């Protein structure tokens, strides 16, 4: 679990410091692979995919996020935006 958290933090830092959504997305994917229940990483992965106009990947991640955290209205709003 801690490795997933480290990968997630690296993704956040990569995006915040470099503005590089592509590399940040790679870290979030790694975090998700290490811990598929890491809802924060899945949410960030969806956001980074959307920033890259990768609609299919964003939809997949948002749907996965709904399965991890059912009933979140903000996720439904994000899906409506996509």
pLDDT tens for 60-71 read 999 999 999 999
User: Structure tokens of 69?
Assistant: 């955290």
pTM above 0.75, yes or no: yes
53 exposure class (CB count in 10 Å sphere: 0-12, 13-18, 19+): exposed
Taking a C-beta distance cutoff of 8 angstroms, is the pair 33, 42 a contact? no
For residue range 35-58, list pLDDT tens digits in order. 999 999 999 999 999 999 999 999
Alpha helix ranges (H) inside 1-82:
2-18, 21-34, 39-51, 55-68, 73-81
């Amino acid at each position: 679990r801690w490795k997933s958290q480290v990968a997630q933090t690296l993704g956040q830092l990569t995006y915040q410091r470099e503005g590089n959504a592509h590399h940040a997305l790679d870290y979030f994917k790694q975090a998700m692979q290490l811990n598929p229940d890491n809802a924060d990483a899945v949410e960030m992965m969806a956001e980074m995919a959307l920033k890259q106009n990768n609609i299919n990947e964003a939809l997949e991640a948002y749907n996965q996020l709904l399965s991890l955290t059912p009933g979140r209205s903000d996720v439904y709003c994000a899906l409506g935006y996509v």
